[in-house]
Each structure stands twice: as structure tokens, then as C-alpha cells.
Structure 1
Amino acid sequence: MCGRFVNLMPAEAMARLFSAVPSNDLPEAPRFNICPTNDVAVVVAEGEGRRLRAMRWGFLPPWYKAPGDGPLLINARAETIAEKPAFRAAVRARRCLVPASGFYEWTKGPEAARLPWYIHPADDAPMVMAGIWQDWEAGDQRLSTVAIVTCAAAGGIEALHSRMPVILPPEDWPMWLGEAGKGAALLMRAAPAGSLAWHRVDPKVNSNRADSPELIDPYDT
């Protein structure tokens, strides 16, 4: 799964990278510990171009009467996304790119201690995760929400966790956004072996209040 991630890119850099028009409500960057229900920057196809906009991380299906009316849907499994009532319309028509610099995963240590790892592109290039989104409203409350698509882990990541986000290389961005015809289902696969690197990081990241540069530094155990 993907339950926390990092985004070091300022809005201007993301707008250039994706050739997208930025909205004026984007979350501040850098961010070293993005948690569920935080606002995140995403890229969507809009008209003849792209928009960089903010969305709440935690997908809300249209039948939820309130944000807490059901499970917090931060991830959508690639294997079942087209079948699940919550996600099947979004994966057909509302796909997005979720910029990141890396993500966290945890293993178990002695006495069930949670040991955090930072996983990032081996070349430290920007990482782009596949997402789906949904505009949700109830009464006068309106939210744009997003879930990150995950697949079975591979390339060594499975030693840390059985799941990982679907990571899209630049050549796949147009198809995922629906700009280059059909075939997005074929993109929901694990990143190639050797494309990611990882290291242990400070357990301070376990707190959702932590957000500082040293969180992604290698942790000397």
C-alpha cells in the first residue's frame, strides 16, 4: 500500500514538469510526511491542457453522506479497481497523476516495533504515482478527493511490503490521463527492477505531526 509519502517539488517545478496550469490553492512544499486526509497536488487533464490542483487524499464515493461515512479509501488496488463500485467510474473517466519524491513503508522490528523505510527513485528523479479522483459533495460541503493506485510489489520492495504504488514513467502520463487513447489498464504494473532504492529512516516519521528534512535521511541503527 502507500500510506505516507514525500513531495519536495514546489508548485512552479511541478507546473513546468507536467506542462500544467497551477491552481492557486496548492499545498506548500517541500513536505516530508504527507498523510491521509492531507491536501496533495495532483495533475488532471482539463480541456485541451492540464491542471495542477489540490485534492484531499482519501477518496470519497458519491454515496458517502459525510467524509467519515465509510472506510478511508487512500488506495485502490489495480487488480480490482475496474470492479469495485467505489472506483470503477473514476478509473474509466477520472485518472490523475500524483507527484511525489518518495514514499514510506514499514517492517516489524523487535516487540512489534514499526520500522520505517524511505523508498524513492534510484536516480532521485521525480516520482509520479497513478491516481483516480472524485468530486464529492453533501449539502454545502464539497471536496475533490483522490486515491493512489497500488499493485503487487516487485523489484525487491516485496521484502518490505506486499503492495506498492503504480509508478508511471513520463511516456505513460498521456495515456493515464486519457490524452493518448485507451490502454490505461496496461499501465497498472510494478516499477522495473532497479528503478527504486530504499533505506531505513528515523522512527520519528511514525508520528503524523512530524514534517522535517531529516525524516528522509538514512537512519543509523
Structure 2
Amino acid sequence: MCGRTGLTLPKDKVQCACSYKPKNSDSYTKPPWLPEFNASKEYTPSHNIAPTDVTPVLVSATNFENDEQCGRVLKPMMWGIIPPWHKGDYKNHNLSTNNCRLENIKSSKLYSPILSNGGRCIILAEGFYEWQTTNKLSKSKQPYYIYAPQDDGVKVDEPDTWNNSFDKEKGWKGIRLLHMAGLYHVWQNEGTIIYSYSVITMESNSTMDWLHHRMPAILDSEEQIEAWLDIDNVKPDMALAYLKPVKVLSWHQVSTAVNNSRYKASDCNKRLPEEKKNKTTQKTLNSWFVKAEKRKSTESNDSESKKQKK
């Protein structure tokens, strides 16, 4: 599952972070940023991106007209695909389309045609938030911030350590973004045009199953990125075969303030201080012991009641 992300880089830095070497080229190029058509909604850098927010998405240039000769472009899109058959207010389609399950794409009335028509995209993020569902002892779900492993000295929650830079010979040096596989669609109704996407999810592997049973399909190699975007030469079935559970990720606990999707402050992805983590752990243990004592007390009372009846 993926229900919240973070991306705080401005447009020009996102372009730099997505730079790549085209085939038969020795230098890095930045994908152009295409105009926005999303009901007047624009990309706004944020520490707490929620569904219906607009974020930059990497796509093949095949489906877009652009002046520059390039294979990839950046297109701002809204999170949550609007079904092609929906009419009227785009907010009222009443379907949950923030994520699409990898196992169901080919049989889906919504996603299968999009996949067949080349609607593959890559959602960019500095990290995503996930709430632990595997701890049955805790009454509240602890949120975590998950992100790509960074170079020594780079801390994802401390922008002053990123040292972002770009040049054509060396490419991007700075914070490493996550590349999440997704599907996108262009919805039109009475003159309104909205580009929207869904994040593809899959069963978690040992990297994340301690936290949640689902995880986004993360592309962690240039080969995977190239194949997913190459809608001209890589057919849908082959593209899906490139989606594998990522084996290496980093994470840390964050405050439950991120639970509120309207809260966008810079402390959303900050590492939870040790003393607060200890309090959370102790609270969970205390809850378990209280429940255990209650069970013992109930069993003891039941036993005593049975004796009296005899």
C-alpha cells in the first residue's frame, strides 16, 4: 500500500534528479517539464503529499509533443486515476484508485486498457509513509518514512546535508529519489483535462513485511526504469515482469502528526527522537501486560466460579 509520499524539490531540481544518459550519448540530459493541465491544480513541493495532490511523473515522450528530442518527459499529474467512463465532477467517481494491485491489473476493467494503451509512468518521491499494521499489540498504528539508501552523510530528513548538484558529465549528485511504477490516464470532460495516476503495489517481501503486507513497485535500477518507460519496444507483459519487490530500503519512525493529510510542515518526515520511540515501545508493552493480567484475572474468576458451583 502507498497512501502518502513526500517530495520537496522544486521543478528544476526534480528535472536534475531525473537526468539520465540517452542511448548513444556520453552526457546526461534532463527531461523537459511539460505544461500542467489539472483543473488549475499545480505541483507544490510538500513533506506530506496525499491523494488528489499533483506531483511530477516521469513518462515516455512518445505520447507527448515536445520541442526537445528526448525519450523522457516530466508531466505533473494528480494522484488517483479518474475512470475514463466518469462524467461530471472529477472528485465524485467514488472509486479507490490511489493504488492498483499488480496481481489484478490485467483483469481490471479500469487498469487493463490503460496498460495496453501505453499508460505506464514513474511516480517520483523522496520517500513514502507507511503505517505499521503487523503490530497487533498497539492500539495506534506507528507511521514510518521509507526511502532509498543515501550516500554517506546524506540524511533524507535534513535537506542541509543533500549537497544537490548537476552537470552533464557526472549527472545528479544529491538526494536519491524513489521511482515507483504506476499507470496514468488522461481524463477529459466538458473542456476539463486532468492527467491522473495510480501507484502499483505488490505483496511485500522480507524487506517490508515486518511493517505492512503491501509495498509499492519500486524501480531501483536504470534497466528497470528504461524498460518501464519504453512503451514502443517493451510490451505490457514484459514490462510487468520487470516489477520485482525491492530488496534494499531505508526507514525511520516519524510523528503521528503526518496522519493528518492537511499537515504539511517540514517535521512530517523527521526522525522520531529516541526518547519518544522508547515511550511508544513502553506503552505497547504496558498495554500487552495489562491485557495479559486481565486475561489471567478473568480465567481465575471463571475457575473460582466453577469450583463454587461444584
- Give the alignment's TM-score, normalised by structure 2: 0.66
SS at match of 1:156: coil
**Aligned pair partner of 2:243 in 175, 188, 210:** 188
Specify the alignment match of 1:96 in structure 2: 121
Query: Contact 1:77–1:150 (CA<8 Å) still a contact in 2?
Result: yes
1:1-221 matches, cutoff 5 A? 1-16=1-16, 17-18=18-19, 19-25=30-36, 27-29=43-45, 31-47=46-62, 49-66=71-88, 67=90, 68-92=92-116, 93-107=118-132, 112-123=139-150, 125-169=176-220, 170-178=222-230, 180-182=233-235, 183-192=238-247, 195-220=248-273, 221=276
Bigger-Rg structure (1/2): 2
Shifted more, 49-58 versus 127-136: the winner is: 49-58
Rounded to whole Å, the distance in 2 between the matches of 1:14 and 1:82 is 31
SS at match of 1:32: strand
Query: Contact 2:82–2:196 (CA<8 Å) still a contact in 1?
Result: yes
Question: Runs of 5+ in structure 1 lacking a partner?
Answer: none
Question: Runs of 5+ in structure 2 lacking a partner?
Answer: 20-29, 37-41, 63-69, 151-174, 277-310
Cα deviation, 1:155-191, whole Å, max 9, x if unaligned, reads 3311111111101122211210125523211122210
Bigger strand fraction: 1
Query: Contact 1:155–1:191 (CA<8 Å) still a contact in 2?
Result: no
Rounded to whole Å, the distance in 2 between the matches of 1:88 and 1:32 is 32
Alpha-carbon offset, residue 132 of structure 1: 0.5
Shifted more, 124-133 versus 106-115: the winner is: 106-115
Rounded to whole Å, the distance in 1 between the matches of 2:258 and 2:270 is 11
Rounded to whole Å, the distance in 2 between the matches of 1:166 and 1:119 is 13
Query: Contact 2:54–2:79 (CA<8 Å) still a contact in 1?
Result: yes
Rounded to whole Å, the distance in 2 between the matches of 1:168 and 1:155 is 17
Aligned residue pairs: how many? Answer: 218
Alpha-carbon offset, residue 77 of structure 1: 0.6
Rounded to whole Å, the distance in 2 between the matches of 1:174 and 1:144 is 22
Query: Contact 1:90–1:134 (CA<8 Å) still a contact in 2?
Result: yes
Cα deviation, 1:78-127, whole Å, max 9, x if unaligned, reads 11111101001212311011111110011257673232111111226211
Alpha-carbon offset, residue 216 of structure 1: 1.0
Pair 203,130 (structure 1): closer, same or farther in 2 beyond 3 Å: same
Cα deviation, 1:39-93, whole Å, max 9, x if unaligned, reads 1110111235222111110111211124212313000111111110100121231
Query: Contact 2:122–2:180 (CA<8 Å) still a contact in 1?
Result: yes
Task: State the identity %.
Answer: 28
SS at match of 2:96: coil
Residue identity matched to 2:176: A
Alpha-carbon offset, residue 24 of structure 1: 4.5
- Give the alignment's TM-score, normalised by structure 1: 0.91
Alpha-carbon offset, residue 129 of structure 1: 0.4
RMSD after superposition: 1.9
SS at match of 2:268: helix
